[in-house]
Amino acid sequence: MDNKALLKGVRVVELSSFVAAPCCAKLLGDWGAEVIKIEPLGGDGIRVMGGTFKSPCTDEENPMFELENGNKKGISVNVKTKEGVEIIHKLLAKADIFITNVREQALSKIGLTYDQLKDEFPALIHAHILGYGENGPLKDKPGFDYTAYFARGGVSQSLMEKGTSPCNTAAAFGDHYAGVSLTAGILAALYKKQMTGEGDRVTVSLYHTALYGMGMMITTAQYGNKMPISRANPNSPLMTTYKCKDGKWIQLALIQYNKWLPKFCNVINRPEIMEDERFNDIKVMPLHVDEMVEIVGEAMLEKTLDEWSALLEEADLPFEKVQSCEDILEDEQAWANDFLFKTKYANGNEGVLVNGPVKFKTMGIKEYTPAPRVGEHTEEVLKELGYTEEEILNMVNSQAVKLDDSKELV
C-alpha cells in the first residue's frame, strides 16, 4: 500500500489546532505524506472539547481529536521559547509544506509568517487558514466555523425556516470545507514546486469558503431571490421537504418540473393536478406554490417514508430520505463505500470515524494510524533532527518541549 501512496516522500509540518487546518493536514497524511503535528505543551484545544458534544475526551478515547489527527506524528513544543522556534525552523528546512491556522499577528511574533520565512525557505509551501481574509477591517479578527462561516457567510440565515430563528449549526461543517479547499490549493502549489522549485503562499478563509458555497444564492440575490425561504413556500413545490405518515421527512428534488410532474402526479395519486392550469406548467406554477405545497403535503401524509421511497425509486424520480447522524451510522450505503470505518481505541472501545471524501483506485485507503498522544513522537523527531538526549532533557526541564508521559526523561 505504501508504494502506491500518492504523496509518499512529501513532508508536512502542521502548527494548528481545532479542525480546519488539522483536517487539511490529515488528508495529506491519508494520501501518504509524512505529517508532523506541533502541539503546545497542553495539547491541541480540541482534545478537551468532547464533553461539549457528549463525546469521550480522554487520552485513551478521544473521537473528536482522532477524526482530525490520525495518520500523523505528534510533537509537543513551546513555540514561545527560543528552543521551540529553533525546532520549527529545523523541521521546515526538511519540509515541503507548512500548514497553520495561527493568526498572522501571532505568527509574526515568532517569525513564522510567509514573508519572514520565504527567503530562508524559498521552496516551502506556506498554507494558511484565515478567518476573514488577508485584508479588510476584519483581517485580524479570530475566525471560527460558527462565526466567520455560518454567521457572517450567510449560511445560518439561509438554512433557517423563514420566520424562525437562525439554525443551531452543525459544528465544524465549514471547517471541513475550508480544509478541503486548502488541500486543493496546496496540491496546485506542490505541482508548481515540482516544476519550478519555488514555493508559494496558499490561503483559504472560512468567510470566503462560505461565500463560495453560497455563490448561487449570493449571485441571484441581486435580482430579487431572497433567503431564507419556508419549506411551505419554496421556489418549487417539487423541491422541498414533506412529512410522511410515520413522522419521517422526505426531500423531493424534481428540478425538471414539466418533465417530471406527470409521473409524480401518478405516483402520489393526484392526477387532477395535471388538469389544473394553476399547477400544470412551470410558467404559471410560481404564482400558486403555497396551494400546491398544501395539496402535495396532504398526499405525502398518506404513506410512510419507506413506502414513498419504494414508489419514487420505481418511478425513477429524484428524492432522498432526510437522515439523522444516528441513521448515517447504520447506513449500508456509507459502509459499502468505506465512507465510514471502525477503529479501536487504547481502552479497547470501538468507535466509528469518517474517511476523507476523496478516493483513489490504485492507492486504495491507507491503513489507519491512530492520532498521537501529546508529545508521543517528540523524542523521536528531535533525535532525527540531530538533538542529543542531554539536549532533549534540558529542553524538557526548561519546558521548551514535552515528551509522551510514559517516556519522560526527567
Tell me the per-residue pLDDT of 86-125, one tens digit each, with 9 for 90 and over: 999 999 999 999 999 999 999 999 999 999 999 999 999 9
C-alpha 148/C-alpha 177 separation (Å) is 13
Residue range 239-324, CATH number? 3.30.1540.10
Residue 5 has pLDDT above 50, yes or no: yes
Helix (H) or strand (E) holding 82: helix 82-93
pLDDT digits (tens, 9 = 90+) for 196-235: 999 999 999 999 999 999 999 999 999 999 999 999 999 9
Residue 1 has pLDDT above 50, yes or no: no
Averaged pLDDT score across all residues of the chain:
96
pLDDT at 406: 67
Q: Which of 104, 87, 121, 109 is CA-nearest to residue 200?
A: 121
C-alpha 145/C-alpha 159 separation (Å) is 15
Tell me which residues are annotated as active site.
175
Which residues pair with residue 343 across a beta bridge? 351
DSSP string for 178-211: HHHHHHHHHHHHHHHHHHHS--EEEEEEHHHHHH
pLDDT at 167: 87
pLDDT average, residue stretch 263-269: 98
Query: What pTM was computed for the model?
Result: 0.95
Contact 119, 35 (CB under 8 A): no
User: Where do you find CATH 3.40.50.10540 in the chain?
Assistant: 9-213+337-400
DSSP single-letter state for residue 368: P
Share of the chain above pLDDT 90, in %: 97
Q: Which of 14, 120, 18, 20 is CA-nearest to residue 71?
A: 14
Q: Which CATH class is domain 9-213+337-400?
A: alpha beta
Instruction: State whether residue 173 is helix, strand or coil.
Output: helix
User: Where do you find CATH 3.30.1540.10 in the chain?
Assistant: 239-324
